[in-house]
Amino acid sequence: MSRIATLSRETAETAIRLELDLDGGGRAEVDTGIGFLDHMIESLAKHSGFDVALVAKGDLHVDDHHTSEDTALTLGAALDQALGDRTGIRRFGSAYVPLDEALARSVVDLSGRPYSWCDLGLSGERLGTWSTQNVGHFFGSLATAGRLTLHLDVLRGENDHHRCEAAFKAMALALREAVGDRGIAGVPSTKGVL
């Protein structure tokens, strides 16, 4: 069974096209107009093993909020669609990732219940042209649309670039584990559905 999703999202503020393959090779073609966000999604693809083809056109003349949020919502919705009824997945995943002085921890549950708790400790205003206040919002929007629980925190680190990139890589590895085949038929829930 292929775990692929192709989605488009169009609003008055953004137009997004996304193709996601959960069983890819970590390839990414990303153009959101926000260089640092592109870099983070490419990192997410590489370390999760997902193939991601994403083009987003947004009202960046206003600011980066709408493009960040709608990109995350589309990515989360594609993840949800690609997982289908979530039969056979491990469901849970966790990872620690160091990046020089930074250390990030991510724990995910593909429970069908959206929740996000993020403590990234970013101190600057921007990472390139991406507003740091939109980084945590990106993770929350992805968790909501992906119907997953995400706990993500950066335990230490002085450099915002390192803190943010470690967080994305930790989430990628946790997702890679959670979407994996647990080798047991059925949905991993006592309820019988996720």
Q: How far apart are alpha carbons 179 and 156 in whole angstroms? A: 27
CATH number assigned to the domain with residue range 4-178, chosen from the 4 options 3.40.190.290, 3.30.230.40, 3.30.70.1400, 1.10.10.10: 3.30.230.40
In the predicted model, what is the mean pLDDT of residues 50-70? 98
β-pairing verdict for 51-58 and 28-31: parallel
Split at pLDDT 50, 70, 90, the class of 187 is confident
Please give the span between the terminal C-alpha atoms of the chain, in angstroms, as a whole number: 18
- pTM equals 0.96
Query: pLDDT at residue 1 above 80?
Result: no
Taking only the tens place, the pLDDT of each residue in 22-41 is 999 999 999 999 999 999 99
Residue 126 burial (CB count, 10 A): 14
